[in-house]
Structure 1
Amino acid sequence: MDWRDDGIVLSTRKLGENSVRLSVLTRDYGRHTGMVRGATSKSMRGTLEPGNEVRVGWSARLAEHLGQFRCELTGAHAADILLQPGPLMAMSSACAMLDVTLPEREAHPDLYHGTIALLGALKAEQWLPSYIRWEVGLLEELGYGLALDRCAATNEVTDLAYVSPKSGRAVSEPAGNAYRDRLLTLPAFLASGRASQARETTGFGDQLRDGLKLTGFFIHRDIFEAKGIKPVAARDRLVSHVWRLNADDEK
C-alpha cells in the first residue's frame, strides 16, 4: 500500500518519544492518519503545524494499518498569520472541525479545495465572512446543506432575511416578520437573494455574529449532538474572540 497526495495538516498527537500520529485532509484520499517518525525535530515541528499544506506519501503493509507518512512542506500558512489572533483561531477551528467531523479515508475533493481557498482568504482583511461561508460549505458536504437561495414560504429570491431552524431554508422578510422570534437571522452577506434596504444597513459586526450563530446552530444540532461529538473548543474560542471584538467596537 503506497500513495502520494497533497494535504492539509489537521492535527498531531504524540506517539512514543520521537513520533506523532498525524491527521491530514488529502485531496484524493480524504482525512487520513499515519505515523511520522522524527516528528519532534525542529524542522518537522514547523512542517506539521495545523493549517500547513504538505505533500505526503503514505505507505503500509496492509490498507487497514496505520501506516507511515513522509511529509514535505508546500505552504506555511500557520507562519503567515502567526501574529493575527483572529485568523489564526479561524484556521485552528477549521482544522479541528475537519478532524472530528469527517469520516476517515473518504474523499471530499470539493471540501479540500474549499479549505485551501479559506487558508488563502484568512490572510485578507475580510477573513471572517470567508470562514463563515466555509462552515456553510462544511454543512453541505456533510449532508446538512442550508437552502439560502429562495424563500421557503413564497419561493421568492429577494428580501431574504431569516432561516427556518427546522428546515434550514431561507425565509423572506415579509413572510417571516410575524415569526421572527422563532427564526434565525440570515446575514445579508450569506443571502443569495438581494437583501432589503433594512438588511443592507445592518451593522456588519452584527451580521458576522448572526452568521456564526446561524452555522453554529446547525453544527451543534445536526453534527455534534446527533453524532455524539464533543463541541470543538477551537471554534468556541473563535466565537468568544469575535464577541469580544464586537463588544469593544461598541464601547
Structure 2
Amino acid sequence: MHLRAEAIVLAVRAHGEHGAVVRGFTRDDGVQPGYVRGGRSRRLRPVLQPANTVLGDWRARTGEQLAALTVELVTSRAPLHAEPLAAGALEWLTALTAAALPEAQPYPRLHDGLTGVLAAIEAATAARDWAGSLVRYELLLLAEMGFGLDLDRCVVTGAADGLAFVSPKSGGAVSQAGAQGYEARLLALPPFLRAGGATDWPAIFDGLALTGHFLTRDILVDRRAPALAARERLVERLHRAVA
C-alpha cells in the first residue's frame, strides 16, 4: 500500500514515547490513518496541528497494517489557534469529521466543503463571516452520512413556499401554515440554509440548534459522543462573543 496525497489533519494521538497516530482527510481516498515517527517532536508538533494541510506519504506492506506516514507542511493554520472563536471552530470541525467518517472511503464533497469553511475562517474579519458556512458544512455532513434533511417542501401541505420550521422527528421542512398550533414542538429553519447569502446571529444560532439536534441524534452517538464537547465549547464562546 502506497498513497501520496494532500490531507487535512483531523486528529493526532500520542503513540509510544515519541510517535503519533495521525488521521488525515484526503479528497480521493477519504480518512487515512498513519503512524508518524517522531510525531510529538518539537519539529513536527507545529506541522501536525489539526486543520493544517499536509502532503502525506503513507506506506504499508498490507492494507490491514497501520501505515507509516511522513508529512510535509502545505498550509499552516497555526495563527488561528491563538484566536478563541476560530480555534473553537477548528477543534469542532476536525473532531466532527474525524468522528463521523469511516476510514478509506472517499467523500470529495465533504473534503471540498471542509476546505471551504477553513478558507472562510482564515479570510474572515469576524466570526459571523464564517459561522453560517460552518452550519452549512454540518448540514452537508448529515446528508453525506445518509441523514440529510428534506428542506424543499412542507411535509404537511406539500408547499414549497413559506418554509419556516423543521420536524425534529422526520427532518422534513414545515411551512408556517402547516405548523400552526405546533410551532413550539418544531425547530426553526433559518432562511440562509435554503437561500444562502449573508445572515445574522439569531439565524446562525437557529441553524446551530437545528443541525445540533440531528448530529446528536444520528451521528455522534456511543463512542462518537465525546466529540460533542468541542461543539458545546464553540457554541458557548459564540454566545459570549455576541452577548
- TM-score for the superposition, normalised by structure 1: 0.89
Distance 2:194 2:134 in 1: 15
Structure-1 residue corresponding to 2:24 = 24
Aligned to 2:53: 53
The residue identity in structure 1 corresponding to 2:73 is L
Equivalent of residue 216 in structure 2, options 216, 220, 232: 220
Structure 1 Cα separation of the partners of residues 202 and 192 of structure 2? 11
Decide whether the 8 Å contact of 1:32 with 1:105 is kept in 2: yes
**Matched residues in 1 for 2:172 and 2:19: separation?**
46
Q: Distance in 2 between matches of 1:224 and 1:12?
A: 19
Determine the C-alpha separation between the residues in 2 that align with 1:136 and 1:105. 22
Structure 1 gap segments, 5+ residues each = 194-199
CA contact (8 A) 1:20 1:36 kept: yes
- Counterpart Cα distance in 2 of 1:70 and 1:2: 12
In the alignment, residue 180 of structure 1 is paired with which amino acid? E
Asked if the contact 1:24–1:32 (Cα under 8 Å) also holds between the matched residues in 2, the reply is yes
Deviations 1:183-206 (A, max 9, x none): 10111211349xxxxxx9xx9222
**Aligned-pair distance for 1:10?**
0.6
Separation in 2, partners of 1:107, 1:213: 28
Cα deviation for residue 149 of structure 1 reads: 2.4
Alignment of structure 1 residues 176-187 onto 2, 5 Å: 176-187=179-190
Q: Provide the aligned length of Structure 1 versus Structure 2.
A: 238
Structure-to-structure mapping, 1:53-132, within 5 angstroms: 53-77=53-77, 79-123=78-122, 124=124, 125=126, 126-132=129-135
Helix, strand or coil: the match of 2:28? coil
Counterpart position of 2:225: 230
In the alignment, is the contact (CA less than 8 A) between 2:14 and 2:40 conserved in 1? no
Give the structure 2 partner of residue 245 of structure 1.
Answer: 241
RMSD after superposition: 2.0
Residue 159 of structure 2 aligns with an amino acid whose one-letter code is: E
Name the CA distance, whole Å, in 2 between partners of 1:205 and 1:188.
12
Unaligned runs of 5+ in 2: none
CA shift, 1:40, in A, is 2.5
- Tell me whether 45-54 or 9-18 shows the greater mean CA deviation: 9-18
- The offset of 1:224, in angstroms, is 2.4
Identity of aligned residues (%): 40
Hey, what's the Cα distance between the residues in 2 that align with 1:9 and 1:146? 28
The TM-score with structure 2 as length reference comes to: 0.91
The superposition leaves residues 98-124 of structure 1 with CA deviations (integer Å, 9 ceiling, x where unpaired) of 111111111111111111111101121
Given candidates 135, 139, 144, the residue that maps to 1:141 is 144
Given that 2:8 and 2:53 are in contact with CA atoms closer than 8 Å, whether structure 1 keeps it comes out as yes
Assess if the C-alpha contact under 8 Å between 1:160 and 1:191 holds in 2: no
How do residues 151-162 of structure 1 correspond to structure 2 at under 5 angstroms? 151-162=154-165
Q: Distance in 2 between matches of 1:100 and 1:50?
A: 13
Deviation at 1:228, TM superposition (A): 5.2
CA distance in 1, matches of 2:117, 2:180: 34
